Amino acid sequence: MAETLVFEVIRECERARWGRLTTAHGVVETPAFMPVGTQATVKGLLPEQLRQAGVQMLLANTYHLALRPGAELIAQLGGLHRFMGWSGPILTDSGGYQVFSLAAIRRITDHGVEFRSHVDGSLLELTPERAVEIQELLGSDIAMCLDECPPYGAPEIVLREAVRRTIHWAERCRRAQRRSDQAMFGIVQGGLLEDLRRECAQALVGLDFPGYALGGFSVGEPAELMYPVIALVTRWLPENKPRYLMGVGRPQDILEAVSAGIDLFDCVLPTRNGRNGQAFVPGGVVRIRNAVHRSDPRPLQEDCPCPACREFSRAYLHHLFHAEEMLGPILLSLHNITFYQRFMREIREAIAAGQFAQYRASRLAQYQAAN
């Protein structure tokens, strides 16, 4: 099947890559961070606000959209891009993360996963074929294979079974593809075990996906154990195809992953933390609910162009959260999205200038000092 996804590495700085990912709905400069729009919305923010913040690509979720409003309805209404008012590229997760996060309400077999809906208790069967069908109905630019994501600390026998099943499901997903304008990524599982990660990566590379994701991270493992495994896995993946680290989003983690050759990221941190009164700034986090900000006339971040920083003081933002006004979470979410997009642009510029190692060291030193 002909693929519409085109990926070009423009510049390398050691293992860090500045690239260009061309999709059916536009071009994404990488490394790039995708805000999470699980249910066809980035909570509290308009598509135009996301575009103004520099967002290039969004993530939505197969499991949640299949439950409500339903993939068939979205297709009837013109597809996910039109439904949510976002004209840029979209990546849809397959529901594999829900195999991990909703373990209490699912049953897994080689055939697929049966979920007992967290919304109304109805049964949702998600097989590899159905996961592909849903994503094709949604019309995303990049679809993910259905995979099994085990938790950190799972016994080796569980990890081995998850890798076997992930490879089997990837083969079935590849065979189920029908749309030529949607690229599919395979997902490398294997926990922190080198031999399992290698086995999974090599099997997926043999299926010749247009891109590859690293799943099963940020599921409870310490960061210092995650970094070396990421660095190993990227060495087993093709140089000419994009690499996506799923669900990992602390700025420190992004710096380490970019240095290992990762191109795409997503995480709920910017918006979830924003809704909870935490604003990302260079070197750390501002907890705007704290009493120290009650009369602070300064902006969150002096040089930030977002509305929260451009128009309002820390004192006002502090007031909004204590008054439980919805504008507070909206403004901090928008600030955090802006922060992440500026951060990724700085990373791309540092790679382009051949200065990424220096940039990484400088930013990590800021975070260490803050801690």
DSSP string, 306-344: SHHHHH--HHHHHHHHHTT-THHHHHHHHHHHHHHHHHH
Task: Tell which phi-psi region holds residue 287, choosing left (phi > 0), alpha (psi between -120 and 50) or beta.
Answer: beta
Of the three residues 227, 250, 267, the one that is the final residue of a domain is 267
Question: Which pLDDT score, from 0 to 100, does residue 1 have?
Answer: 45
- Structural domains in the chain (count): 2
Write out the residue range of the structural domain in which residue 366 sits. Answer: 274-370
Please report whether residue 313 resides in a domain. Answer: yes
Q: Cite the DSSP H helix spans in the chain.
A: 47-52, 62-67, 71-76, 80-84, 96-101, 128-138, 156-176, 194-206, 223-235, 251-259, 269-275, 307-311, 314-322, 327-352, 356-370
Query: What CA–CA distances, in Å, run from 166 to 7, 78, 149?
Result: 25, 31, 9
Secondary structure class of 96 (helix, strand, coil): helix
Please report whether residue 154 resides in a domain. Answer: yes
Closest CA to 122 of 62, 38, 66: 66
pTM value?
A: 0.97
Q: How far apart are CA 5 and CA 323, in angstroms?
A: 47
Residues paired with residue 264 on neighbouring β-strands, in sequence order: 32, 244
Of the three residues 210, 234, 267, the one that is the final residue of a domain is 267
Query: Cα torsion for 119, 122, 123, 129, to the nearest 10°?
Result: -60
Q: Residues in the chain, how many?
A: 371
Tell me, rounded to whole angstroms, the distance of Cα 8 from its chain centroid. 20
DSSP 293: G
Same-domain check for residues 195 and 285: no
Q: How far apart are CA 217 and CA 284, in angstroms?
A: 22
Residue 257 token pair: 């992953």
Q: How far apart are CA 65 and CA 268, in angstroms?
A: 17
**Phi, psi (degrees; rounded to nearest 5) at 208:** 55, 55
Please report whether residue 1 resides in a domain. Answer: no
Question: Which pLDDT score, from 0 to 100, does residue 96 have?
Answer: 87
Same-domain check for residues 198 and 338: no
Same-domain check for residues 304 and 226: no
> Is the distance from CB of 259 to CB of 360 less than 8 angstroms?
yes
Query: Tens-of-pLDDT digits for all 371 residues of the chain?
Result: 446 899 999 999 999 999 999 999 999 999 999 999 999 999 999 999 999 999 999 999 999 999 999 999 999 999 999 999 999 999 999 988 898 899 899 999 999 999 998 888 889 999 999 999 999 999 999 999 999 999 999 999 999 999 999 999 999 999 999 999 999 999 999 999 999 999 999 999 999 999 999 999 999 999 999 999 999 999 999 999 999 999 999 999 999 999 999 999 999 999 999 999 999 999 899 999 999 999 999 999 999 999 999 999 999 999 999 999 999 999 999 999 999 999 999 999 999 999 999 999 999 999 988 87
Structural element, H or E, at residue 27: strand 26-30
Task: Tell which phi-psi region holds residue 257, choosing left (phi > 0), alpha (psi between -120 and 50) or beta.
Answer: alpha
Torsional sign, CA 174, 60, 192, 194: positive
Question: Which pLDDT score, from 0 to 100, does residue 131 have?
Answer: 97
Same-domain check for residues 174 and 42: yes
Same-domain check for residues 97 and 233: yes
Catalytically active residues, by annotation: 93, 266
Closest CA to 28 of 368, 350, 345, 367: 345
Please report whether residue 232 resides in a domain. Answer: yes
Same-domain check for residues 97 and 188: yes
Same-domain check for residues 282 and 261: no
Same-domain check for residues 53 and 78: yes
Give the domain CATH number at 79. Answer: 3.20.20.105
Of the three residues 250, 267, 284, the one that is the final residue of a domain is 267
Closest CA to 19 of 226, 230, 263: 263
Q: How far apart are CA 355 and CA 262, in angstroms?
A: 17
Please report whether residue 49 resides in a domain. Answer: yes
Same-domain check for residues 231 and 143: yes
Same-domain check for residues 306 and 174: no
Same-domain check for residues 311 and 208: no
Same-domain check for residues 222 and 349: no
